[in-house]
Amino acid sequence: MHNSFYKNYKKNIEKFIRNALDEDIGPLDHSVEALLSNNPRKSVRLFTKTDCIIAGVKLAEKIFKYYDPKVKFKKLVEDGDFLKKGSQVFLITGPPRSILSTERIVLNTMQRMSGIASLTHKLKRMIKSFDCVLLDTRKTTPNFRYPEKWAVMIGGGENHRMGLFDAIMIKDNHISFSESIDSVLKKTKVYIDSLDYFLPVIVETKNIKEVKKVINYKWINRILLDNMSQKDIIKALKLIDGKIPTEASGNINEKNIKLIASTGVNYISLGALTHSAPHIDLTLKVD
């Protein structure tokens, strides 16, 4: 559930907020220093300028409160709600200096997150009749991964691995740097057996020949079918016979996602959820 995302990754989200504020404001916001001294408190509302699945409401509150605890934040909708153009999202009241210094960070973050959530929601609905989980990938914006993956969950998808630290994913280049796929898998088994905690192992396969090799290693946690046609995915699933969870990835889009889901694959992962989602236009207006 996306509601637990902040709790699970609180330190990472707070680090993002600190870095974003430091990047944009730096030592001083000269605009507010020049124009605003001791102005009275003001109220500002966020509005949508197009239909969307809204995302980043909770993060926006964290950003405002982190910068100035005196800011009062009243959310009018929840993350994941579908909003029509012109809908009100939240109301904030506080010192104009604090609001103006943080508004661009909030807008940039929420516009990006809402775009990702909206695209995820759209694709998830397209495969709702199939028992198939929609996943993101590591194709995220550097230093913005946690908000982007949070947005995927808000839109109804689920997270793949968060990074290189919480799963082993054996890809073609790993195999290219080694002797063979068998050599890589044997080394991997030795490594995970040496750990005192569970670490999932996902193995990427590009053809039926590789699938035939990988299915002999019953301990792996998922077989990724990369850039395979619908026909080859069906062949692979027959070979795997439900003994190991499967994931389809590569060149999957709105045109073919329903077809891929219909094969019976357990997961579909799309980098497009985070690297190609259009921004949603939002605006802050002073009451």
For 188, the token pair is 């991997």
Which option is the CATH number for 128-275: 3.30.2320.80, 3.10.290.10, 3.20.20.70, 3.40.1020.10? 3.20.20.70
Q: What is the value of pTM for the model shown?
A: 0.95
Look up residue 183 and give its two tokens. Answer: 């050599």
Please report, for the chain, the start and end positions of each structural domain, with discontinuous segments joined by +: 2-125+277-286, 128-275
* The pLDDT value given to residue 40: 81
- CA 181 to centroid of chain Cα atoms: 30
The confidence score (pLDDT) of residue 190 equals: 97
> How big is the chain, counted in residues?
287
Q: Tell me: pLDDT of 254 over 90.
A: yes
* pLDDT tens readout for residues 139-184: 999 999 999 999 999 999 999 999 999 999 999 889 888 888 999 9
Confidence of residue 186 (pLDDT cuts 50, 70, 90): very high
Reported as a single tens digit per residue, the pLDDT across 56-66 is 999 999 999 99
Half-sphere CA count of 110, side-chain side, radius 13 A: 32
Residue 7's identity, in one-letter code, is K
CATH 3.40.50.300 fits 2-125+277-286, yes or no: no
- Judged against a pLDDT cut of 80, whether residue 221 lies above it is answered with yes
Residue 129 has pLDDT above 90, yes or no: yes
In terms of Cα–Cα distance, which of 105, 117, 8 is closest to 60?
A: 105
For residue 116, what pLDDT band results from cuts at 50, 70 and 90?
very high
| pLDDT of res. 197 | 97
Structure tokens at 13: 């989200």
Find out whether 136 and 157 touch, Cβ atoms under 8 Å: yes
